[in-house]
Amino acid sequence: MIKFINVTKQYAENSVALSNINLTIDKGEFLFLVGPSGAGKSTFIKLLLKEIEPTFGKILIEGTNITKLSQRNTPALRRKLGVVFQNFRLLEDKTVYENVAFAMEVINASPREIRRQVPKILGLVGISDKAKFFPHQLSGGEQQRVSIARAIVNNPSLLIADEPTGNLDPETAWEIMRLLRQINRRGTTVLMATHAKDIVDMMKLRVVAIEGGNIVRDDMKGVYGYED
Ligand SMILES: Nc1ncnc2c1ncn2[C@@H]1O[C@H](COP(=O)(O)OP(=O)(O)OP(=O)(O)O)[C@@H](O)[C@H]1O
């Protein structure tokens, strides 16, 4: 469903963030993206989100070459992608329910669909009892559940998680991992960039390691492979 074909991203003349990357991610996979700081992980994610454009090469998402996509068609692409960040990025002046509903409002879902879908997703991520709370009234793990709910409420085919456990204690981090794996088992492809060695080593899933803009490892049932 995702293909990077000879993708290079050069920010400046002497700064190549990704160098001739070729990678295929199949539908339903769970993939960890690892590598030292500055390796190119965020650049990889920004390219998928079309926040930046590759210098060379193309990126296909479900057969669509996103590098060729017009601005008019970019929202349709973004609908296929859900994103979760380390620092949650919830709207502080909206309740849990409203945060998730808002993601549906911006794609013009009907009020009826929203009333039906939001409670269902809050249930799925295990946060129904906090629907009327504001983000500052929630623990970090609960806030991350809300941000996951928001990311999946429009049924994206790919969920991108950029360090989703980075701000959580180990126990809460594992709860979030169980949730991401559950969402993956329901059919959503998951791409997770992380520095969480224990999690990567325990889960025995596909691991792609980037160093200096190159893919240096791509293993099924891989390991983290770094000491930090
Ligand atoms: N806007 C930019 N302009 C110039 N160089 C950049 C820019 N963004 C990133 N880079 C460079 O590209 C390289 C890859 O950066 P990137 O942010 O993708 O790394 P990363 O693997 O996500 O790191 P981390 O694990 O610390 O988040 C780095 O050398 C970085 O300095």
Q: Give the pLDDT confidence score for residue 70 in this predicted structure.
A: 85
How would you classify the pairing of strands 30-34 and 81-85? Answer: unpaired
Token digits for 111? Answer: 């009020």
Q: What is the mean pLDDT of residues 156-182?
A: 97
What is the ipTM, given to two decimal places? 0.93
Assess whether the C-beta atom of 208 lies below 6 angstroms from ligand 1: no
Lowest mean pLDDT across 10-14, 89-93, 95-99: 10-14
Q: How far apart are CA 136 and CA 78, in angstroms?
A: 27
Among residues 124, 69, 78, which one has the least CA distance to residue 100? Answer: 124
Ligand 1 centroid–CA 55 distance in Å is: 15
Nearest atom of ligand 1 to the alpha carbon of 42: 22
| pLDDT score, position 144 | 97
Alpha carbon of 136 to ligand 1 centroid (Å): 31
Ligand 1 centroid to residue 24 C-alpha, Å:
22
C-beta of 12 in contact with ligand 1 (< 6 A): yes
Is the CB–ligand 1 distance for residue 189 below 6 Å?
no
Residue 32 has pLDDT above 90, yes or no: yes
pLDDT of residue 53 exceeding 80, the answer is yes
pLDDT (average), residues 27-39: 96
Ligand 1 atom closest to residue 195's alpha carbon, by position in its atom list: 25
Task: Look at residue 59 in the predicted model and tell me its pLDDT.
Answer: 97
Least confident of 53-62, 63-72, 185-194: 63-72
Give the CA distances from residue 64 to residues 6, 55, 76, in Å, rounded to whole numbers and listed in that order: 16, 18, 11
Q: Whose CA is nearest to atom 7 of ligand 1?
A: 11
Nearest CA to ligand 1 atom 5: 11
- Would you place residue 227 in the very low, low, confident or very high pLDDT band (cuts 50, 70, 90)? confident
Structure confidence by residue, pLDDT tens digits, 103-152: 999 999 999 999 999 999 999 999 999 999 999 999 999 999 999 999 99
Could you give the CA distance from residue 204 to residue 224 in angstroms, rounded to a whole number? 10
